[in-house]
Amino acid sequence: MSFVIAAPEMLVAATTDLSSIGTAISAANTAAVLKTTRLVAAGADDVSAAIAAVFGVHAQEFQAVSTQAAAFHSQFVQALSAGAGSYASAEAASMSPLQTAVQDVLNVVNAPTQTLLGRPLIGNGADGTLPGQSGGAGGLLFGNGGNGAAGNAGQPGGGGGAAGLLGNGGAGGQGGAGAAGGAGGAGGILQGNGGAGGAGGAAMAGINGGIAGHGGNGGAAIGLFGDGGAGGPGGAGLAGANGVNPTFNGTAAAGSNGADLSVSTGPATAGAGAPGGNGGPDTIGGTGGAGGSAFVNNPSDATGGAGGNGGSGGAGGNGGAGGNATSGGTAAGGAGGNGTGGGTPGGAGGAGGLGGSATAAGGSALGGAGGLGGNGAAGAAGGAGGLGGAGGDGGHGGILAGNGGAGGNGGVGGNGGAGGNGGAGGGGGGGTMGKATVTGQGGAGADGGSGGAAGSGGTGGTGGPGGNGGAASSMFGSGGAGGIGGIGGVGGGGGNGGVGGDGGGGGNGDGFVTSIAGSGGIGGGGGAGSDGGAGGGVGSGGAGGAGGFFGETGIGGGAGTGGNGGGAGSGGSGGSGGAAGQAINGTLVPGTPGVGGAAGADGTAGPQG
């Protein structure tokens, strides 16, 4: 019995099959009981009755034998099942001491070399556990190198551990963000393959200058026989920043108002409003001061002060309102101040100020014209995508026989950032009423500011170059294939043009003799949409490795695919033209409504990389 070999799993399967057979036979016997033990005589004579009785007795004896056979079958199945369990228990009991004994022997053998050389005599090296830790070396006689651990952000991946006499090198760990992948470990001195290089980490802003990580080089097969390890792929390039228009916080101080002037005799011209204060690039320009009011209690002329222009800033300041004028003779309302254009990307233009009203008891009155709206600023441009990381080189093949490792593929180039939208144009200031006994003329509405052009989309990043294939053994083996160049990044989408400002409405004219309505201002043109960014260029393929004397040179890697161009931006809509004022009394001279501004032109899609 010392040479008996048993397979417990096969015994369990046989037990199951025998149980199924017994169940089928028992079912057949049960079905035949009534049909064989209770036969009806063929006739009423004694011979027929005797024959039926003989068959009935035979059937009953058969059922009795079948019952005994079923009992024996059940006992046999139970014994077989118990035997399978006993064999399995014995096998499990014998394996544990054997494994323990083998491990104890290895611990005794490996302890001196582990202490003196930092590696076991037989066994695999430990995998790296801490971020960026290299894998342990394999056993001096036999064992694979441990795998390197992945690095944290900015930290290279751990290198793969080297093998001993026989064994494969460990794989390099993946590099953290913006860091290189770990190199693969060397193969065994006699036989073994080099380990694969780790993948380079994707680029991250603020880490290693935003540069993508290089793929780790494949480990060399330094022994007589073995293939070189494959190089790791390069990391993806950094995406370009979107063109983000700044957010404006706070407003610069408003300009001081012009001085009012009231006289009993002689003409009067009120003081003009001061310009609004200038703000920084992240603030809104101050509103211009309002013009002063002029009052003359005689037939002399009265002129309201002009409103101050808006101050400069990230967004333009609004113009101040013109001053009112009242006279017994001729009166002219002050003109509204002009809005200032946006100063930083995407800044809106300021609105023009309203003109001052004019009232004359005699003579004529001219309402003040509105101030011009400021133009919107162009949107911020999207940033270019970063270069993809280079693929790692393949490892060298063995001394006598072995293929070179394949080069790693280049990383994908980063996508270009989207362009920012253009700033909106400021609305033109409205003209105001001129009311007089003779001729009343409304002030003209001012033109709206133009919308700003959109910022252009950023160019996609170029794909990283593929790694070179490793050289083969000098005798037998083929060179490694070169890595494929990285795909170019997608170009950023173009921004939308800013909306043009609406033209100001004309003022009403109210003269007892003649009424002249003010004309509306022209709407500002919409800003042009920008073009999409160009797709990123292709990464170059790696060179194939040199082949051995009895081998072929590796195939060079193909160039990557160029990135798609970014989508085009839409042009901004033009501003509405200002409504004309109304002529109220006397001879009516209607005003002309302003024409709406033209929409900005759409951009074009970026070209393929």
Asked if the model's pLDDT at residue 600 lies above 60, the reply is yes
pLDDT of residue 80: 64
Asked if the model's pLDDT at residue 47 lies above 60, the reply is yes
573: β partners: none
Do 439 and 499 form a contact (C-beta atoms < 8 A)?
no
Asked if the model's pLDDT at residue 6 lies above 60, the reply is no
pLDDT of residue 235: 94
Among the listed residues 433, 384, 439, the one whose alpha carbon sits nearest the alpha carbon of residue 413: 384
- 418, two tokens: 């989207």
Distance CA 575, CA 598 (A): 8
Asked if the model's pLDDT at residue 4 lies above 60, the reply is no
Which strands sit side by side in the sheet containing 268-269, from one edge to the other?
A: 268-269, 302-303, 331-332, 364-366, 439-441, 514-516, 587-589
Mean pLDDT within 422-442 = 91
Confidence of residue 209 (pLDDT cuts 50, 70, 90): confident
Measured in degrees and rounded to the nearest 5, phi and psi for residue 111 equal -60, -50
Confidence of residue 58 (pLDDT cuts 50, 70, 90): confident
Domains of the chain with bracketed CATH: 8-39+50-104 (1.10.287), 498-519+580-593 (no CATH)
pLDDT tens for 247-304 read 999 999 999 999 999 998 889 999 999 999 999 999 999 999 999 999 998 888 999 9
Q: What sign has the CA pseudo-torsion 64, 70, 73, 74? A: negative
Do 278 and 312 form a contact (C-beta atoms < 8 A)?
yes
pLDDT of residue 437: 87
**Residues with Cβ within 8 Å of residue 182, at least 6 apart in sequence:** 132, 134, 148, 151, 156, 157, 158, 159, 160, 172, 173, 174, 175, 197, 198, 216
Q: Give me the helix-helix angle, 46-117 and 8-37, nearest 10°.
A: 170
Single-letter amino acid, residue 116: L
pLDDT tens for 454-498 read 899 999 999 999 999 999 998 898 999 999 999 999 999 989 999
Confidence of residue 63 (pLDDT cuts 50, 70, 90): low
CB atoms under 10 Å from CB of 31, counted, come to 9
Distance CA 250, CA 257 (A): 21
pLDDT of residue 105: 67
Distance CA 497, CA 423 (A): 8
pLDDT of residue 2: 47
Helix (H) or strand (E) holding 17: helix 8-37
Widest pairwise Cα distance in the chain: 164
Helices (H), ranges, 221-261: none
The pTM for the full model equals 0.70
Cα R_g (the chain), whole angstroms: 47
CB atoms under 10 Å from CB of 422, counted, come to 38
**Helix%, strand%, coil% for the chain, nearest 5:** 15, 10, 75
Confidence of residue 102 (pLDDT cuts 50, 70, 90): low
Distance CA 158, CA 120 (A): 20
pLDDT tens for 530-559 read 888 888 888 898 898 898 888 889 898 898
Among the listed residues 301, 366, 364, the one whose alpha carbon sits nearest the alpha carbon of residue 333: 366
Mean pLDDT within 316-332 = 94
Confidence of residue 140 (pLDDT cuts 50, 70, 90): confident
261: β partners: 294
Least confident of 66-70, 440-444, 496-500, 524-528: 66-70
> Which one-letter DSSP state was computed for residue 358?
E
Do 561 and 541 form a contact (C-beta atoms < 8 A)?
no
Distance CA 183, CA 228 (A): 12
Confidence of residue 395 (pLDDT cuts 50, 70, 90): very high
